Chain A
Amino acid sequence: DGGITQSPKYLFRKEGQNVTLSCEQNLNHDAMYWYRQDPGQGLRLIYYSQIVNDFQKGDIAEGYSVSREKKESFPLTVTSAQKNPTAFYLCASSVSRQPQHFGDGTRLSIL
């Protein structure tokens, strides 16, 4: 089945550590997105990519980095510069102006 796969489902980060969240899609979508969701809040855009080897900052990009080396993959790194990383992270993809489809998320916590 086509879809968006995020891994791992749960992730723990130690102080000063960088962690990488995986997002893979087999929908052949050009655009991919990363959102952060805090308890009781809506979705805030971290980074997005419209095509391979190109990406743009969203509203809350500080402390995060991304790469887009392949069409189907858009990993997100939460760096040690992100002082409040505990959140639910959602990856999405879309084609043209069609609605975005979401993965099942990764929950990141601090040890």
Chain B
Amino acid sequence: GQQLNQSPQSMFIQEGEDVSMNCTSSSIFNTWLWYKQDPGEGPVLLIALYKAGELTSNGRLTAQFGITRKDSFLNISASIPSDVGIYFCAGQPEAGNMLTFGGGTRLMVKP
């Protein structure tokens, strides 16, 4: 099955820095989701985007639904150690409940 192209695969940053990651697809999606997974746990939903061009924030996190509906971006401002984890994007097509996942971005934060 298709996977989304998520980049970067990993990031090692200093505490306090801003972070950007993105997902691209050859297909159009109607919904974009961003999840965070802590080690040994299941992914937890961070942000859901439902409209092309939509910009949504959740605390220090901001995500955008690309205008072409083929991409999405997640930004984290002023990173802190607890931001460490794997961030996944997921796209949902117009019909059905199935999600297509990106390969994940592993974020490491140096105190």
Residues of chain A whose beta carbon lies under 8 Å from any beta carbon of chain B: 4, 6, 31, 40-45, 48, 50, 58-59, 90, 92, 94, 96-97, 99-105, 107
Contact = CB atoms under 8 A, between A and B. Distances in A.
B97 A42 contact: no
Contact of B97 (A43, A44, A97): A97
A21 B93 CA distance: 29
A105 B97 contact: no
A42 B48 contact: no
Interface residues of B, number: 23
B92 interface: yes
Contacts of B48: 99
Contacts of A48: 97-98
A42 B88 contact: yes
B43 A90 contact: yes
Contact of A97 (B31, B40, B88): B31
Given A102-B43, A105-B40, A107-B40, A94 B97 contact: yes
B44 interface: yes
5 residue pairs, one from A and one from B, having the closest CB atoms: A102-B42, A59-B1, A42-B101, A42-B103, A43-B101
Given A43-B43, A50-B97, 20 more contacts: A40-B104, A41-B103, A41-B104, A42-B3, A42-B102, A42-B104, A43-B88, A44-B1, A45-B98, A48-B98, A97-B97, A99-B45, A99-B48, A100-B99, A101-B45, A102-B42, A103-B42, A104-B40, A105-B41, A105-B42
Interface of B: 1, 3, 6, 31, 33, 35, 40-45, 48, 88, 92, 97-99, 101-104, 106
A42 B42 CA distance: 12
B43 A99 contact: no
